[in-house]
């Protein structure tokens, strides 16, 4: 058997239409917001630069006028008031000052150009002076030069912080909206997917709601009609098979009685009785195949005890050798009669097809075990096996691999019945050739202990 490729860590993103839709919407929203913010910054840059420049010009002009017209003995008190009340500090400009020029960007360059146009081309700007940060602007009073320092927040404001906060809030709300939109868009498809998965498991899903957009209504209506047609065909097929099988058993019973009453030689009587028993077994297969499985009455089944009983009954057959490996306290959720029918069919299948031509007995390996959240029930024979390219055909109704498994009697419904019952129990049926020869039939059920918790047996 080929080893399945393990899924990658992000396979759920690639395989889920919901997440694909969400990430496409999220990318579109983020790209639109980024383009809008960039466009807005470009458009509002000139008015904002003019506003800041006018503010700086006004502060410098008023400060210079106040210092120029104030009395000499009151200037110190005036400078203290400007610093404490207005956040404006004035320092003499010295040649020894350590000046760090401002960061050059389009906004700062536009502010500098506007300020120089009003205060003079000799106006200087700095980011720090003597390691003191601020927004520094030079101005002259007569022949003396001074620095005027403003707080950066007063000039630059909190534009960047505000926009980051508003942008993050808007993006978060947009992503939540994208999440809701993705859910609404993919909800009809998710319902349809769940309904098709239920049909694949042999269940009958609830009708899909026939509302919403035209395409969704038409798709759900067509699906509901298809489910009704399938159920009607299944019901008619079951009635036909059951009716034919019951009608055939009446003449078979009469023929068996006539064979017993007729004075036939022993060999002829045994041969006819064998043929009649074979025909009765085929009719029984028809009835088992046509019988519906009621999933509403499933209960916890002791699979360990059931498998042990099956192995014990099979070991009593004169031509069967049983090798069993049965784990203790194994349980499944299902119908005990149906699972018992599975075990009996697989034992009979191995008994018929798993015997080598030169062997007097057939060896059958029966295994019942648990692995994590799964329960495994396996039946393996030591016969000739089946070609790998023909294994999938074994599950088709009325199919027998006579060329590979020897001549056998029956209608070819044994594995089809098993597959049908396993699907009704939400299980999986695997067929593969056994190492050393023979066919292994593996049934995988869900482990109810992992879903329901431990419980007494």
Long-range CB contacts (within 8 A, 24+) of 354-358: 354/381, 354/382, 354/383, 354/405, 354/438, 354/439, 355/319, 355/381, 355/383, 355/406, 356/382, 356/383, 356/384, 357/406
pLDDT digit string (tens) for 120-143? Answer: 888 888 888 888 888 888 988 877
Max CA distance (Å), the chain: 151
pLDDT number for residue 454: 46
Count of CB atoms situated within 10 Å of the CB of 5: 6
pLDDT number for residue 348: 86
pLDDT number for residue 83: 66
Give 71's contacts (C-beta < 8 A, 6+ positions apart).
Answer: none
List the one residue out of 213, 205, 206 whose CA is nearest residue 184.
213
Segments of the chain with pLDDT less than 70: 1-16, 71-76, 79-80, 83-87, 153-163, 202, 241-242, 245, 282, 284-296, 397-414, 451-457
Q: How far apart are CA 184 and CA 425, in angstroms?
A: 32
Structure tokens at 284: 């029984």
């Amino acid at each position: 058997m080929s080893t399945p490729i393990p899924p990658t860590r992000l396979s759920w993103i690639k395989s889920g239409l919901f997440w694909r839709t969400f990430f496409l919407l999220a990318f579109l929203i983020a790209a639109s917001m980024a383009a809008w913010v960039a466009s807005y910054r470009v458009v509002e840059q000139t008015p904002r630069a003019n506003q800041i420049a006018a503010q700086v010009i006004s502060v410098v002009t008023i400060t210079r006028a106040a210092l120029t017209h104030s009395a000499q003995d009151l200037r110190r008190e005036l400078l203290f008031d400007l610093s404490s009340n207005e956040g404006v500090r004035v320092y003499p400009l010295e040649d020894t000052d350590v000046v760090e020029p401002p960061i050059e960007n389009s906004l700062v360059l536009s502010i500098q150009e506007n300020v120089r146009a009003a205060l003079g081309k000799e106006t200087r700007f700095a980011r720090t002076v003597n390691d003191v940060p601020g927004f520094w602007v030079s101005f002259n009073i007569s022949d003396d030069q001074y620095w005027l320092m403003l707080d950066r927040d007063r000039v630059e404001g909190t534009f960047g912080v505000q926009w980051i906060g508003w942008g993050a809030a808007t993006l978060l709300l947009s992503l939540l909206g994208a999440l809701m939109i993705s859910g609404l868009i993919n909800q009809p498809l998710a319902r349809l997917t769940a309904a098709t998965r239920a049909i694949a498991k042999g269940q009958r899903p609830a009708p899909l709601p026939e509302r919403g957009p035209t395409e969704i209504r038409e798709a759900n209506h067509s699906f509901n009609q298809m489910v009704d047609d399938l159920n009607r065909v299944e019901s008619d097929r079951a009635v036909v098979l059951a009716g034919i099988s019951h009608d055939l058993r009446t003449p078979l019973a009469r023929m068996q009685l006539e064979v017993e009453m007729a004075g036939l030689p022993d060999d002829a009587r045994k041969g006819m009785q064998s043929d009649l028993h074979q025909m009765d077994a085929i009719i029984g297969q028809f009835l088992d195949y046509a019988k519906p499985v009621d999933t509403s009455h499933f209960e916890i089944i002791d699979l360990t005890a059931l498998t042990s009983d099956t192995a014990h009954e099979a070991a009593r057959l004169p031509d069967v050798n049983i090798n069993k490996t049965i784990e203790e306290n194994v349980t499944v959720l299902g119908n005990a009669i149906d699972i018992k029918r599975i075990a009996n069919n697989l034992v009979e299948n191995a008994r018929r097809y798993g015997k080598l031509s030169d062997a007097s007995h057939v060896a059958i390996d029966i295994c019942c075990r648990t692995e994590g959240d799964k329960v495994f029930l396996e039946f393996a024979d030591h016969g000739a096996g089946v070609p790998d390219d023909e294994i999938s055909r074994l599950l088709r109704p009325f199919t027998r691999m006579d060329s590979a498994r020897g001549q056998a009697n029956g209608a070819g419904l044994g594995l089809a019945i098993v597959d049908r019952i396993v699907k009704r129990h939400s299980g999986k049926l695997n067929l593969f050739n056994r190492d050393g020869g023979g066919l292994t039939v593996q049934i995988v059920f869900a482990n109810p202990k992992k879903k329901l918790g431990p419980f007494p047996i």
